[in-house]
Amino acid sequence: MNHFLINTSKGLLLCLFFSLIAHTVAQAQSYKLYTKTATMVPMRDGIKLYTTIYTPIGAKEKLPILIKRTPYGAKERDTVDMTAIPYESALAKDGYIFVYQDIRGKFKSEGKMEMNKPLYHLTNPNATDESTDCHDTVDWLVKNVENNNGKAGIRGISYPGWTALVAVVDPHPALKASSEQASPADMYLGDDFHHNGAFRLSYGLEYAYLFENDPTKNSSFPFPQFDLYDWYLNLGPLKNVNEKYLHGRLPTWERFVNHPDYDALWKEQSAFTYMSEPEIPILHVGGYYDQEDLNGPQALYLHMEKKDKSNRNYLLMGPWNHGGWGRMDGDSLGRINFGSKTAVHFREKEKQWFDFWLKDEGDGNFEEAHFFQTGSNQWKSYDSWPPKDIEIKKLYIGPNNTNSFLKPKVAEGFTSYTSDPARPVPYRTLPIEATYGKGSRWRSWQVEDQRFVYTRPDVVSFTGEVLTEDVTVTGNIITRLFASTSGTDSDWVVKLIDVYPNFDEENILMSNYQFPVAMEVFRGRYRESFEKPKALTPNKPEEYVIDLHNIDHTFKKGHRIMIQVQSSWFPVIDRNPQKFVPSIFEATEEDFIKAEQRIYFSAKYPTHIELPVKK
């Protein structure tokens, strides 16, 4: 009898134990497979947008909605393992309703597409744009999608990042958080199509064709060869693009041709014009080696931070190329190793972000700025960006191709080289494959070893002594270049380079590697104004202030710091004729001339880079 009671008690305890386990499992339900529903969502003007909705199979609780609005085609598979997709994996396993939508005029959506459409509704209440389309989409989704919890978020990379950005303007009440990732900020000053007025030829041509040749699909420009360096060189002046190939039929290329300077069209499109304080929480995400929109997330964070009174503005930067955090592990890029899976780290951070705003999970104590510090290969968090505990140190170029932190005292000093538009410096090693073509190395060129141009006579390098201790640079890097040209226009490309040791003990194959930590171009005609270009005075030294953007990098003991300068970066940047013409798109073959370039390092003209060094 007593034995029976004892066994019964054990049975009851075991039943209670397994019941608790089952309850715990139910509370922490994990999802894998999602199934698709497709629909046409109506906008306020009657246009309908093609939308696919993915709901986890077996979901019983109410879940938040996470939206991606894209010009590249909504996700189409009927049933999909979301946990196998890197960008969705962390979020998917705990349950979200994923929504993908073709923006108007693309793929299966109705209406007419306009690239980077301005926010027309801000000046015309009856107009539609990507902000109003997002508002109407959220309104339809929360009213019509089963088992949603009434909260929505939006995110995306590149163009979908931009649609996530503009969704923050006049958002729907149910839209609780946004993460713009690699969104452009200003297409003339520092993103896809121009950098400081310099036109991005290969990317501009190929992307415009990809986007606008056929609205129902993406199109590759029909190049007749694999290596495009000679093709772009033989193309000649930019006016030949229309005369030989496009014939005025691509709206974006016509925009380039008809608006060569920073005029009202570019300003209307600029996010700086319509973005102000964040109306909902926003997480800006970008990569140091983003070959398309490096400037956007950094600039947008700084712009919106000025009016962020409610602590809704956050920044996360890592060692990635364009969207690399969404498709890779992020442990390396090219030959640069980062020592950990940085992209996986980001995806867990992103999950915490959306879980808090859309599921009320977590404490919401997010870092103001979260950066991966290259060189030391560590994640760092900051209470403000740029950090306050920095000291600006000026790294000066000097004679004999040197640099140091000592200001030059000589009355005169310069080095010179000849820039020839007929022999432009390539921006990466040949072959130059089509941007999105088979075998393209477009995604990793910004970490490429710069020794491939180091010995060219039209590239000058200034190298410092071997570092005896680590130097950590955290914040915005500014170049103050004093230079002259014998022409009347000129491009200036400046690079800040981490030179590895003569014998790298960690990896012998990285010995003397010239790792470009930061690079940027500036078109000389815009020295005084991007709105009103002005011819340069031949052989007159001028100061060019060039923003190399934000980094967090440790130049390690045993390495050296190099500053490199050149006057062409082809064909990612079109060839500057080096003779001033009213419009670069109207230049003729005869306008392209050789020019003598001088880079100065004297007391009066002290070329240097301002480095924000951690104290």
Regarding whether 50 and 25 lie in a shared domain, the answer is no
- The answer to whether residue 85 sits within a structural domain is yes
Per residue in 469-492, pLDDT tens?
999 999 999 999 999 999 999 999
Regarding whether 129 and 13 lie in a shared domain, the answer is no
Per residue in 592-613, pLDDT tens?
999 999 999 999 999 999 999 9
Is a pLDDT exceeding 80 seen at residue 106?
Answer: yes
- The answer to whether residue 176 sits within a structural domain is yes
d(CA 274, CA 304): 11
- The answer to whether residue 187 sits within a structural domain is no
Regarding whether 576 and 441 lie in a shared domain, the answer is yes
d(CA 11, CA 455): 81
Q: What does the DSSP 8-state code read for residue 245?
A: I
d(CA 518, CA 513): 15
Residues 6+ apart with CB under 8 A from 46: none
Regarding whether 487 and 356 lie in a shared domain, the answer is no
Which CATH number goes with the domain that contains 552?
A: 2.60.120.260
What is the predicted pLDDT for the residue at 22? 38
Which CATH number goes with the domain that contains 282?
A: 3.40.50.1820
Regarding whether 117 and 24 lie in a shared domain, the answer is no
Mean pLDDT throughout 512-526?
Answer: 98
Is a pLDDT exceeding 60 seen at residue 2?
Answer: no
Q: What percent of the chain has pLDDT over 70?
A: 95
Mean pLDDT throughout 66-77?
Answer: 97
In this structure, is the dihedral angle defined by the CA atoms of residues 30, 314, 168 and 161, taken in order, positive or negative? Answer: negative
What is the predicted pLDDT for the residue at 28? 58
Regarding whether 406 and 312 lie in a shared domain, the answer is no
Residues 549/523, Cβ–Cβ less than 8 Å: no
- The answer to whether residue 398 sits within a structural domain is yes
What is the predicted pLDDT for the residue at 25? 39
d(CA 470, CA 556): 4
Cα distances from 512 to residues 6, 339, 401, 451, 466, in angstroms, run 75, 20, 16, 9, 12
Regarding whether 533 and 510 lie in a shared domain, the answer is yes
Q: Which domain holds residue 127?
A: 33-181+275-330+339-373
- The answer to whether residue 237 sits within a structural domain is no
Regarding whether 162 and 46 lie in a shared domain, the answer is yes
d(CA 508, CA 504): 5
Compute CA 17 distance to the chain's CA centroid, rounded to the nearest angstrom.
Answer: 51
Regarding whether 499 and 352 lie in a shared domain, the answer is no
Per residue in 213-270, pLDDT tens?
998 899 999 999 999 999 999 999 999 999 999 999 999 999 999 999 999 999 999 9
Is a pLDDT exceeding 50 seen at residue 1?
Answer: no
Regarding whether 91 and 18 lie in a shared domain, the answer is no
Residues 54/79, Cβ–Cβ less than 8 Å: no
Is a pLDDT exceeding 50 seen at residue 366?
Answer: yes
Q: What is the dihedral of CA 69, 71, 75, 81, to 10 degrees?
A: -70
d(CA 275, CA 601): 40
Per-residue pLDDT band at 17 (split at 50, 70, 90): very low
In the block, residue with structure tokens 């199109």? 219
In the block, residue with structure tokens 């509704």? 121
Per-residue pLDDT band at 307 (split at 50, 70, 90): very high
Domain count for the chain: 3
Regarding whether 283 and 400 lie in a shared domain, the answer is no
Regarding whether 159 and 77 lie in a shared domain, the answer is yes
What's the pTM?
0.94
Average pLDDT of the chain to the nearest whole number: 94
